[in-house]
């Protein structure tokens, strides 16, 4: 059984890596083949120099991606068949005289540090060479280091208690531990989603309420049309409606959760522009990057805002949570099945025999090993998730066309593509597989049909 699992794993790893490289090569070729001319439908709004910059930028990112995914596959092999995980495990067992919680934390930390060391050169090259070459990087080395330190602190503050809770549940809850871990994981994700917009994102960026000025009446009319109370009054499932209003009324109540429409100083790190919708309940936020806002006319801002409101109206955050919840339940159940199978560890050449059940293998090791090899098995589902995401984009676009103006959204999208140097000519198969947003031409064609 162990030998069979080895073969299955190695075959799938080779297939997924091969498939990813093949898709990337297709994308490289397709973008290069369409570099010479701007697609006819964009010819009026995007000039050749911008189109060629987008092609070169896309290709540079893909080339780096090919190297990175190859290195990642090799690292996975090093962890498993190369014996690195077993070495870490043995090292910390010797230090801590066994496999308790400190051993578990140390094992997670060493795997994370190894992964960080491998990804750091890519991140540095991406930020300070690739992005800088195309004029996008605004990050200073000082800011880069400060970001890293903040991320490290957050990872420790949030990750350590979560990890300890999961390890404890795995050990203490008997056969059905995966159900308890799933509930904890779900609760944790909801908590992060609630806290992220108001307490975590502001550690990295400054958020200021959208300056209303000349757009004020426009935006308020749109919000009223869409029934969106920016402090989240009407959208808290399960929250009793009859609660007496605290002194100061609504503004007071939403304080601390800071829902609403904000502008983020994205220009601090990058010239790329974007807008997004996040959070739920009173914490829900629509965020515009200052870099995007600078370039849009008031009608275009309104259309982009309407698109983001569309995500909210169609409850896309909740739908994503539901999908995530179902997937993580299935995966944790699966971990519950393999955790006591010796073929799982022997097949991946980890440990010195035994399973988590007879404690020759620690639960921490089982958890790490499972999460390391999981992407190899979930890769075939990538297109499904991308498809779902693109469907949500179409829905939000249709909503924006109804509530605002489809042509203004098209104008905003074209600017977004041009200024972010996003390719207008992706390889269809690559796009089908990975793209969370429909390709520009499809998105605009769809907007034209719903705007009629």
- Taking the complex as a whole, the smallest distance from the CB of residue 222 to Zn ion amounts, in Å, to 16
Distances (CA, A) of 225 to 228, 229, 313, 358: 8, 11, 12, 62
Residue 296 vs 350, nearer CB to Zn ion? 296
Q: Considering CB under 5 A, how many residues would be counted as binding Zn ion?
A: 2
- Taking the complex as a whole, the smallest distance from the CB of residue 305 to Zn ion amounts, in Å, to 11
Residue 203 vs 323, nearer CB to Zn ion? 323
Q: How many CA atoms lie within 13 A of 11 on its CB side?
A: 6
- Taking the complex as a whole, the smallest distance from the CB of residue 396 to Zn ion amounts, in Å, to 5
Residue 288 vs 370, nearer CB to Zn ion? 288
Residue 103 vs 316, nearer CB to Zn ion? 316
- Taking the complex as a whole, the smallest distance from the CB of residue 451 to Zn ion amounts, in Å, to 17
| Angstrom distance (rounded) from CA 58 to CA 27 | 9
Residue 59 vs 316, nearer CB to Zn ion? 316
Residue 103 vs 307, nearer CB to Zn ion? 307
- Taking the complex as a whole, the smallest distance from the CB of residue 424 to Zn ion amounts, in Å, to 18
Q: Interface residues for Zn ion in 92-151 (CB under 5 A)?
A: none
Q: Interface residues for Zn ion in 24-63 (CB under 5 A)?
A: none
Q: Strand order in 275-278's β-sheet?
A: 207-209, 260-264, 285-289, 275-278
- Taking the complex as a whole, the smallest distance from the CB of residue 312 to Zn ion amounts, in Å, to 11
- Taking the complex as a whole, the smallest distance from the CB of residue 422 to Zn ion amounts, in Å, to 14
| Angstrom distance (rounded) from CA 56 to CA 48 | 12
Residue 170 vs 303, nearer CB to Zn ion? 303
Task: Scan for tokens 């050169």, then name that residue.
Answer: 121
Distances (CA, A) of 291 to 148, 202, 415: 23, 17, 11
Helices 406-419 and 48-79 meet at what angle, rounded to 10? 70
Residue 103 vs 390, nearer CB to Zn ion? 390
Question: 408: closest CA among 397, 422, 418, 417?
Answer: 397
Q: Interface residues for Zn ion in 312-351 (CB under 5 A)?
A: none
For the stretch 134-139, contacts whose Cβ atoms lie closer than 8 Å and that sit 24 or more positions apart, written own/partner, are 134/53, 134/56, 134/57, 134/60, 134/421, 135/271, 136/270, 136/271, 136/272, 136/421, 137/269, 137/270, 137/271, 138/267, 138/268, 138/269, 138/270, 138/271, 139/268, 139/269, 139/270
Site pattern 375..414 for Zn ion (x: CB under 5 A): ------------------x--x------------------
Structure tokens at 142: 């000082």
- Taking the complex as a whole, the smallest distance from the CB of residue 393 to Zn ion amounts, in Å, to 5
Which residues are at the interface with Zn ion (CB under 5 A)?
393, 396
């Amino acid at each position: 059984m162990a030998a069979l699992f080895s073969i299955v794993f190695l075959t799938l790893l080779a297939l997924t890596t091969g498939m990813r490289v093949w898709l990337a090569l297709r994308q490289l070729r397709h973008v290069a083949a369409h570099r010479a001319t701007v697609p006819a439908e964009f010819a009026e709004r995007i000039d050749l120099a911008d189109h060629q910059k987008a092609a070169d930028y896309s290709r540079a990112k893909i080339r780096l991606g090919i190297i990175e995914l190859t290195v990642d596959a090799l690292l996975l092999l090093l962890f498993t068949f190369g014996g690195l995980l077993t070495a870490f495990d043995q090292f910390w067992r010797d230090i801590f005289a066994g496999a308790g919680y400190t051993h578990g934390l140390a094992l997670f930390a060493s795997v994370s540090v190894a992964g960080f060391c491998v990804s750091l050169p890519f991140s540095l090259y991406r930020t300070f060479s690739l992005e800088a070459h195309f004029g996008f990087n605004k990050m200073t080395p000082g800011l880069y280091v400060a970001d890293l330190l903040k991320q490290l602190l957050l990872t420790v503050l949030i990750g350590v208690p979560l990890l300890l809770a999961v390890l404890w549940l795995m050990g203490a809850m008997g056969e059905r531990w995966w159900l308890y871990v799933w509930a904890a994981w779900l609760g944790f994700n909801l908590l992060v989603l609630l806290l992220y917009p108001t307490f975590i994102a502001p550690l990295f960026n400054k958020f200021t309420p959208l300056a209303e000025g000349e757009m004020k009446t426009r935006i308020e009319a749109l919000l009223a049309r869409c029934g969106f109370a920016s402090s989240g009054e009407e959208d808290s499932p399960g929250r009793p409606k009859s609660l007496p209003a605290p002194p100061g009324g609504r503004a007071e109540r939403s304080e601390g959760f800071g829902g609403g429409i904000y502008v983020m100083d994205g220009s601090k790190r990058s010239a790329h522009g974007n807008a997004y919708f996040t959070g739920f309940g009173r914490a829900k936020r629509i965020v515009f990057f200052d870099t995007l806002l600078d370039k849009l006319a008031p009608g275009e801002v309104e259309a982009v805002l309407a698109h983001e409101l569309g995500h909210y109206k169609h409850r896309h955050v909740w739908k994503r949570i539901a999908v995530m919840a179902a997937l993580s339940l299935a995966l944790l159940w699966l971990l519950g099945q393999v955790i006591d199978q010796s073929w799982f560890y022997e097949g991946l050449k980890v440990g010195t025999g035994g399973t988590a059940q007879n404690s020759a293998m620690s639960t921490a090791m089982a958890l790490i090993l499972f999460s390391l090899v999981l992407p190899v098995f979930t890769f075939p589902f990538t297109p499904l998730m991308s498809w779902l995401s693109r469907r949500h984009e179409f829905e939000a676009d249709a909503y924006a066309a109804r509530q605002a103006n489809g042509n203004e959204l098209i104008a905003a999208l074209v600017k977004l593509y041009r200024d972010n140097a996003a390719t207008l000519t992706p390889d269809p198969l690559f796009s089908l597989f990975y793209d969370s947003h429909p390709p520009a031409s499809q998105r605009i064609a769809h907007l034209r049909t719903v705007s009629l």
